[in-house]
């Protein structure tokens, strides 16, 4: 992103100069899907696409934000923030001011500009990146001293309680913590995490993102529904004398197969099998065994499609094509599903061919034209004083 262009735009809109520029990345999740809110394991990595937030303090309590990608401005008082659903992007920003106030951090008025290059609503976590870029910028501007994990949790709280999306911690966590060429293993119960190097160059591999450009209308309510189904499944396990998801094994729940509600059984089986796959993926990455990693990606997709039911035909196409294409080691949907994006682990010299062929296939099927592009694994949130 051309920072000097953003600074110029800020000056044009506000007739003042910004004091800082903060940015935060989107992410891919390599494996561990719909496990974060089930207090299991995830393995996300930050990508090179980011949201930028430029800000300068004002003498009053007014918040003025210019969203450059939309050519729109909002303004509201930094005190007593109430929900308004007028613009989608506005809700995420207001949510951050709301969560700060609720946690006794009181920012004053600001002029702010946001813009970015993460495709919105594509399952690459543009919303977490927006939240994190804003909270990180405000933290520096007003010297709150918020620790990184607390920052991720506050952003998640804003999304859960203000935006109404009952997401887990994964997206905000990786947007704060991400590092170049590193995936992060996060235990969502203890919040312990470990850096897992991604030595893709050793096998000339690239992660491609396949943005289906499809978004199901009901994705938020379906997401929240999965969350309540999986907690109902976990309650059932506990009432049958089996520990919750973290203590149970697939063998243990196998014994409940006949008596348990079929849908809840499948939800539980996904969570348990996906947690196992994350652990195996870490082992595979430790050994640079990308063939094994790829197989786990395929298995993850099958489980998300059949047991958790969050896939869609467009993302199944990515999986099916990935299985057949020589030079693709694994492919799966990434993020919440219900449309959005998938990832494919592909030999670097085959990425062009892969892209051409899958675009043709999508067209033959009459699907919306997807976007396919390579991602670099990049750093997390950062802020610089101007």
In the complex, the residues that contact ligand GLA under the rule CB under 6 A are 29, 33-34, 36-37, 167-168, 170-171, 335-336
- For the chain, the residue count is 386
Angstrom distance (rounded) from CA 72 to CA 290: 45
- Other beta carbons less than 10 A from residue 140's beta carbon: 17
How many angstroms separate the Cα of 121 from the Cα of each of 257, 304, 340? 36, 19, 7
Query: Residue 171 catalytic?
Result: yes
Angstrom distance (rounded) from CA 230 to CA 167: 13
Q: How many CA atoms lie within 13 A of 17 on its CB side?
A: 4
Beta bridge partners of 76: 63
Contact yes or no for 125/380 (Cβ under 8 A): no
Three-state SS for 275-289 is HHHHHHHHHHHHCCC
Which pairing describes strands 328-333 and 339-347: parallel, antiparallel, or unpaired?
antiparallel
Closest CA to 92 of 136, 137, 158: 158
Closest CA to 25 of 114, 119, 157, 133: 133
Cβ at position 154, least distance to ligand GLA in Å: 15
Vertex 142, ends 137 and 146: CA angle to 5°?
A: 70
Q: How many CA atoms lie within 13 A of 99 on its CB side?
A: 27
Closest CA to 69 of 4, 24, 125, 126: 126
Cβ at position 152, least distance to ligand GLA in Å: 11
Angstrom distance (rounded) from CA 25 to CA 27: 6
Angstrom distance (rounded) from CA 207 to CA 223: 25
Q: Which of these is catalytic: 36, 139, 171, 378?
A: 171
Helices within 1-69 (DSSP H only): 3-14
Contact yes or no for 135/101 (Cβ under 8 A): no
Angstrom distance (rounded) from CA 376 to CA 372: 13
Q: Which residues are marked as active site?
A: 171
């Amino acid at each position: 992103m051309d920072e000097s262009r953003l600074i110029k735009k800020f000056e044009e809109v506000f007739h003042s100069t910004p004091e800082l520029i903060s940015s935060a990345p989107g992410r891919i999740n390599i494996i561990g899907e719909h496990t974060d809110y089930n207090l299991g394991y995830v393995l996300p990595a930050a990508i090179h696409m980011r949201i930028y937030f430029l800000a300068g303090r004002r003498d009053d309590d007014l918040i003025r934000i210019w969203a450059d990608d939309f050519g729109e401005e909002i303004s509201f008082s930094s005190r007593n923030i109430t929900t308004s659903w007028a613009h989608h992007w506005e809700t995420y920003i207001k949510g951050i001011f709301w969560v700060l106030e609720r946690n006794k951090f009181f920012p004053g008025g600001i002029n702010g500009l946001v813009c970015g290059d993460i495709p919105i609503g594509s399952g690459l976590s543009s919303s977490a990146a927006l939240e994190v870029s804003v909270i990180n910028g405000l933290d520096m501007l007003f010297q709150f001293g918020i620790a990184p994990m607390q920052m991720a949790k506050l952003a998640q709280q804003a999304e859960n309680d203000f935006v109404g999306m009952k997401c887990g911690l994964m997206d905000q966590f990786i947007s704060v913590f991400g590092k170049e060429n590193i995936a992060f293993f996060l235990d969502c119960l203890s919040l312990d995490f470990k850096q897992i190097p991604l030595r893709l160059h050793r096998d000339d591999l690239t992660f491609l993102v396949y943005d289906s450009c499809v978004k199901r209308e009901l994705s938020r309510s379906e997401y929240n529904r999965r969350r309540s189904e999986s907690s109902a499944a976990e309650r059932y396990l506990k009432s049958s004398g089996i520990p919750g998801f973290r203590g149970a094994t697939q063998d243990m729940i196998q014994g409940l197969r006949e008596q348990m509600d079929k849908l809840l059984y499948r939800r539980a089986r996904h969570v348990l099998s996906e947690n196992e796959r994350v652990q195996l993926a870490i082992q595979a990455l430790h050994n640079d065994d990308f063939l094994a990693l790829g197989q786990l990606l395929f298995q993850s997709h099958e489980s998300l499609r059949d047991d958790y039911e969050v896939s869609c035909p467009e993302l199944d196409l990515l999986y099916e094509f990935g299985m057949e294409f020589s030079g693709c080691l694994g492919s799966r949907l990434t993020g919440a599903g219900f449309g959005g994006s998938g990832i494919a682990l592909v030999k670097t010299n085959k990425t062009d061919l892969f892209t051409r062929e899958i675009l043709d296939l999508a067209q033959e099927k009459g699907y919306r034209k997807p976007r396919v592009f390579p991602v670099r694994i990049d750093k997390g949130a950062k802020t610089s004083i101007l």
